């Protein structure tokens, strides 16, 4: 067995990204066995889990926490399987939930992370967006009101001149 070169690593990463199995990668990189390719992939943080596969534990998942047990975490599992959320995010959320952290009162999906409002970051930002949208609408209404007053004032001046 030889050492892993940069070309071997590049081939491993690109073929893994394209969905190749370790056996298919072994056909391209003959210097390493399929088991060695699998181990190197794990060392690089690559997951050999097939798309839609629900077998096994998530890398780094605590032993006392299940991704399937309740509805809140099963949605995280589905997002992780679809590769929309990284497993480290799932593990962090589960670790917080396992410690008994309070959940956001608006969504009941994420732990409270903004102490000032008592909401999660997503809900906190949503509330800020709503407030700022209302403020922008008030500013626009004030501008329209100023234009109308200006037109009214000009009409009065024209009437006085005539």
Q: Report how far residue 18's alpha carbon sits from residue 44's, in angstroms, rounded to the nearest whole number.
A: 16
Higher per-residue confidence, 17 vs 124: 124
Q: Is the CB of residue 76 less than 8 Å from the CB of residue 109?
A: no
What average pLDDT does range 74-102 have in this prediction?
A: 61
pLDDT band at 149 (very low <50, low <70, confident <90, very high): very high
Nearest one of 75, 77, 68, 15 to 46, comparing CA atoms: 15
Structural domain spans, the chain: 6-43, 50-101
What is the residue-averaged pLDDT of the chain?
77
State yes or no: pLDDT of 122 exceeds 80. yes
State percent of the chain over pLDDT 70.
67
Write out pLDDT tens, residues 51-70. 666 566 555 555 555 555 45
State percent of the chain over pLDDT 90.
20
Among 14-18, 116-120, 139-143, 156-160, which range has the highest average pLDDT? 139-143
pTM, rounded to two decimals:
0.36
């Amino acid at each position: 067995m030889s050492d892993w070169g940069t070309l071997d690593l590049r081939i491993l990463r690109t073929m893994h990204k394209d969905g190749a199995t370790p056996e298919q990668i072994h056909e391209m990189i003959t210097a390493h066995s399929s088991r060695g390719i699998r181990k190197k992939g794990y060392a690089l943080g690559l997951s050999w889990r097939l798309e839609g596969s629900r077998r096994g534990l998530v890398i780094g998942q605590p032993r006392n926490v299940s991704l399937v047990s309740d509805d809140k975490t099963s949605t995280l599992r589905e997002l992780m399987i679809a590769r929309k959320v990284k497993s480290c995010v799932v593990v962090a959320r589960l670790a917080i939930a396992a410690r008994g952290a309070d959940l956001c009162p608006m969504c009941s999906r994420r732990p409270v992370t903004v102490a000032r409002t008592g909401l999660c970051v997503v809900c906190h930002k949503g509330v800020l967006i709503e407030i700022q949208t209302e403020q922008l609408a008030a500013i626009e209404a004030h501008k329209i009101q100023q234009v109308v007053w200006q037109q009214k004032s000009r009409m009065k001046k024209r009437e006085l001149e005539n």
